[in-house]
Structure 1
Amino acid sequence: MTERLDARAFNRATLARQFLLERTDASVHDAVGHLCGLQAQEPQEPFVGPWSRVSGFDPSELSRLLEQRAVVRLHLMRRTVHLATAEDARHLQLRDDPASTLHPGMDVRGPARAPDFQP
């Protein structure tokens, strides 16, 4: 029989899975892939997530990964900017917003129209 976690154990497991209880020895690329997206709305935010999760984090490593497009910043959940691996980005963006992926540059809300008040 599977043991059920109490609320505290569940909380700790969630934090551990997100590398928030202790830092990981994984590379920045692998950590971003494991987490499947990190908040990156503001210019410095892509650096805060890995800094708080990866042992010996070197900001130049993330800069290099961004320059090489191995990790990218893109709109994902609720159109918020996230950091994801390039491999994950293709799948995540398609899942989250198929119209913007299939038609680059298209405003997914469609053309602006005046409201139609006629019955």
Structure 2
Amino acid sequence: MLTLLDLNRATLARQHLLIRHKGDMAEVVHRLGGLQAQEPRPPYLGIWARLEGFARDDLHAALHARTLVRATMWRATLHLVTAADFAAFRPVLRPVLAPPRPPTCRPGPAWVASGPS
């Protein structure tokens, strides 16, 4: 029988919070299914807690190289995901994230000149 302690340890291990991972940052982000990145600090803290030897510039380099992407994903909030996960999941999420809506104003310079209707 699985005890509460066993379940706790398994959850921490699956989320790379029991022992820091010694491998690739993109692999960790992929295995987690993305990391919350709504605020500037959470992805840094989240990766630092999970990845041995993480340095701030490592994340900057991964974002610059586009191996990791910071984008609107789950729950319509910003997440840090791998480029491959972004390419796979974003088309599926697009209808939910950007449902068709009627425009709230007329586009173009005429609207600016005349003001709202």
Of 26-35 and 79-88, deviating more is: 26-35
How many residue pairs match? The answer is 104
Cα distance in 2 between the residues matched to 1:39 and 1:81: 6
Distance in 1, Cα, partners of 2:43 & 2:75 = 18
Q: Which letter maps to 2:91?
A: L
| Residue aligning to 1:108 | 99
Is the aligned partner of 1:98 residue 2:89?
no
Which has the larger helix fraction?
A: 2
Aligned to 1:84: 81
Q: TM-score, normalised by structure 2?
A: 0.78
Q: CA RMSD in A?
A: 2.0
Alignment of 1:29-44 (within 5 A): 29-44=26-41
Q: Higher Cα Rg: structure 1 or 2?
A: 2
Which residue identity is paired with 2:70?
Answer: R
Identity %: 38
Measure the CA separation in 2 of the matches of 1:41 and 1:60: 19
2:43 to 27, 41, 46: 46
- For structure 2, which runs of at least 5 residues remain unmatched after alignment? 105-117
Task: Report the CA distance between 1:23 and its aligned residue.
Answer: 0.5
| TM-score, with structure 1 as normaliser | 0.77
In structure 2, C-alpha distance between the alignment counterparts of 1:46 and 1:58, rounded to whole Å: 12
| DSSP 3-state at the match of 1:21 | coil
Deviation string 1:23-42 (CA, Å, 9 cap, x unpaired) is 11012111111111001001
Structure 1 residue runs of 5 or longer lacking an equivalent are: 102-106, 114-119
